[in-house]
Amino acid sequence: MAYSPHGWWSILIGITLLCAIGSSRADKPCTASSSIGDLVLLGSSFQVFCTYQASCRASKSMHIDKKKTQKIQPYNSTTIFLNVTNISKNTTYTCLCEGEPEPCGLDIDTGYTPDLPENVTCVQKGPVGEVMCTWRRGRETHLTTTSELWVRAVFGNSTSGSVSYPGSGSRSDPGLVSANFPVSGSAQTEYSVWASSSNKLGSAVSTTLNFTLDHIVQPLPPDVSQVECWSLGCNVRVEEAQGAQLLEVQQRTAQGPGPWILHPHTAGSVWNQSIVSLQPYTKYEFQARVRLSHRRGIWSDWSQPASNWTQEEAPAKALDVWYTTSNSPNNSITLYWKRLSHTEARGEIRGYKVIVHDTLAGKSERNTSINHISGLPCSRCDVTVYALNSRGSSPPARVTIPLRAAQPPQNVMCRNHSNHSVTISWRRPVTAGAASGTGDGAVSGYLLEWFPVGRQVEKLGWKRLGPNETHTVISDNIKPFECYEGAVYALYEQAVGRAQFEDFYTLELVPSAGPSVHQPVVEGDKVTVSWSEVPQEHRRGCVINYTIYVKNSEGKDVGNYVCRASERSFTIRDLPPEYYRLWMTASTASGQGPRAGHSFIIKPQNSWIYTMVLVGITSFLVFFVLLCLYQVSSLRRRVSTLVHCLMPDIVPDPANSKWAKECAKEKGELTLHLYLSESSVSEEEEPDTVEVQELPEGSWSSWNPAQRTDISGTPEGAIHPSLHLLFMPQQIPATDPSTTAYFQSSYLKSFSQESGSSGQTQDSQGTDMTVDYISTHILEGREEKEEEGLDVMGFFSCPQNPLSPFMNPLVSFGGKLTLDAVRIDCSEFLD
């Protein structure tokens, strides 16, 4: 057999490749394989083998997705295997010989075979154009899967070959596949189409669909041009569609929105259709579609929606009216009614009319825009309420106030549920008309009302029930962590029986705050504690009681007092005098809340008597101590001096003295009797005399005090035993400043020798003269007190009183005091 050169070259290249592959395999320490190959169905079971070279004498292992497994088994001396059960994903198996740097492995791909394509449909959009077919490909295969559409056309007696068109998936619906193909020929040409799916595990083919273009042609969706409505219906008009003979309309309420309701084609014009049995004052949406005929084509897609409102009608239902009565003297009532639903109102409610027929006040009428009215005075009245819209009023709702009391329901019970609802149950009242003797007749129904505790006016809710109902579940207007109360009414023709219930809730926790405790009021050995209830937002359920805790100053418990939830004050009695601290807590069924409190003091009984006795004893002790201290002569002199310093001096007028009057009578010399001490002059002895010389008025300008003569014959300037007194006229010429300054001197107070106490000498300004005089007795008295150890002027500092002679301290000059040594300014007295 002869071979061409090209054939020889092909054989040589193949042999070379086989040798290269064999050489590479010989270099690897092992090989990995599967009992069913590397592509398996999801959920399959099989075996994976690892075969090692004879040179691998170390330990052998297998890894599943890089994790070592201990479930391997030996197959022979060079092979190990692993049983795989119900595989669920793509997996990599790796074989490893310890000490060898390069492992070997096997990748297993998993997936499903394709499902049979289903629901193959084809449509031609408009009278001309391509045909689009769609189908569902079934479950996900987890493998690369190809979808195709196969088409075969029959033209008369000839049949064309099958042509495939690739299918593409939908982004919005991954399970939906579509494909388009062109058409030719007449509308009666018959087509056969089917769909196929294939992957590495297998393939599947759908059933064949046969059709002509007349069967699958679909008109374009129409345009809704106009929607005209009245109170109970609408008329829908569409634009003319080419060749369409059938029209269908669907409608739904726009609020919600509601479900679509189909209105099939009716005989008549194909371009409009009337929709009836609609609700007044409701917005509706409408869509339309068309078809060529009953036998030709398919329905078009729905048009874009068009909407409109139906017109209003007068409200069809009477209001549900209830009331509450206040405790005011005029018996005013608050009237409530429930708002009508949208379908009941049949229009926009613009207000309410309330007509009251009172037996005393007569008829009155009120209009309001809200669903309650308060402050209606009503002793006995019939009330009628209407709801109003643009087309009229609702049927009247009547209630008679007050209704006569009758037998109430029995054994009202509340049971809360975990789904934020409460079941209220009761037993029928014992009425039975004549059987009970009440004459109330049979129960015509029941009314259940409820509201948050203390908020009946703002949050009242009620529900009407039939005469055979003895329980109901309420979930509307019920909030968790809030306490409610209410009542069940048995309604008769002209009477009502009321059974109250209280403290029900859906969920509950301990209060988040305590009561607001007021300052305790103490009266003797008792204290009254008052408080305000826990704020509504902090109760978190129904408060069942309050607890008062009292402790004394040592922290010991005095007592715990439990008060009902309705109480707002409590009095604690027989408390001994002590400092106390009290706290209060509010409790629900879940436990106690946080504390809030105050402190207070219990004083001893008749404490004012003890206070008066204590003040009396203290006053007596102070007086006794002062009396003892006053017996000390030195302290008594100090006190006298202090009192004297604090009092302003009253300076007597020297002109009123005896010797001054005599001097006025005899101008010239005047004998002045001066008693130096009580012991130095006796009654028999002749007292010392002091000569007083009056200078003429004109001689003051030439008189020099440094050259004055001794009037009494004693040495110049001596004060004791005789005293020089100069009477100077008041009018002194201001010729010599030194002379004038010399005579502007202060006077000194003298202590009288006759009284033995500190007397006073006077400096008097008469009408004609100025008298200056100095005595040393005060200096002698000061020296005596200093010898006794008492410094009067240092111990008591006199205030700077311009009227006090002790404004400035005196200076001691030894045994005698001369006029040259003392010069005192008296200008401040003259001022």
Distance from chain centroid for Cα 354 = 40
Q: Are 136 and 177 in contact (CB under 8 A)?
A: yes
* 685 pLDDT above the threshold of 50: no
Q: Which of 402-406, 630-634, 666-670, 801-805 has the highest mean pLDDT?
A: 402-406
Q: Where are the alpha helices (DSSP H) in 596-754?
A: 607-630, 633-646, 658-665, 737-743
Ranking 330-339, 349-358, 562-571 by mean pLDDT, the lowest is: 330-339
- pLDDT tens profile 693-727: 545 544 444 444 444 444 344 444 433 443 344 34
Distances (CA, A) of 156 to 123, 160, 186, 191: 22, 11, 11, 11
Q: Are 750 and 759 in contact (CB under 8 A)?
A: yes
In the numeric block, which tokens belong to residue 593?
A: 């809340």
Taking the C-alpha atoms of residue 210 and residue 159, their distance in angstroms, rounded to an integer, is 13
Q: In the prediction, which pLDDT does 653 show?
A: 65
Rg (CA), the chain: 65
Q: Which residues pair with 499 in a beta bridge?
A: 488
Q: What is the mean pLDDT of residues 85-98?
A: 92
827 φ, ψ to 5°? -65, -35
- pLDDT tens profile 759-770: 433 343 343 444
Q: Are 475 and 417 in contact (CB under 8 A)?
A: no
Check: pTM over 0.95? Answer yes or no. no
CA nearest to 288, candidates 220, 233, 217:
220
b/e map 160-189, b = 16+ CB within 10 Å: eeeeebebeeeeeeeebbebebebeeeeeb
Q: In the prediction, which pLDDT does 42 show?
A: 93
Taking the C-alpha atoms of residue 478 and residue 490, their distance in angstroms, rounded to an integer, is 23
Q: What is the mean pLDDT of residues 762-783?
A: 42
- pLDDT tens profile 98-157: 877 788 999 999 999 999 999 999 999 877 778 999 999 999 999 999 999 999 988 777
List of residues 6+ apart from 229 with CB closer than 8 A: 235, 278, 284, 308, 309, 310, 311
* 334 pLDDT above the threshold of 70: yes
CA nearest to 490, candidates 459, 446, 457:
446
Taking the C-alpha atoms of residue 536 and residue 517, their distance in angstroms, rounded to an integer, is 16
Return the residue matching tokens 């403290």. 503
Q: What is the mean pLDDT of residues 84-101?
A: 90
* 207 pLDDT above the threshold of 90: yes
* 233 pLDDT above the threshold of 90: yes
Q: In the prediction, which pLDDT does 773 show?
A: 42
* 7 pLDDT above the threshold of 70: no
Q: In the prediction, which pLDDT does 620 show?
A: 87
Element (H, E) at 151: strand 146-155
- pLDDT tens profile 168-201: 988 888 889 999 999 877 778 889 999 999 999 9
- pLDDT tens profile 494-525: 889 999 988 888 888 899 998 888 888 888 88
List of residues 6+ apart from 101 with CB closer than 8 A: none
Domains contained in the chain, CATH given = 30-111 (2.60.40.10), 118-217 (2.60.40.10), 219-309 (2.60.40.10), 321-401 (2.60.40.10), 404-430+442-505 (2.60.40.10), 516-601 (2.60.40.10)
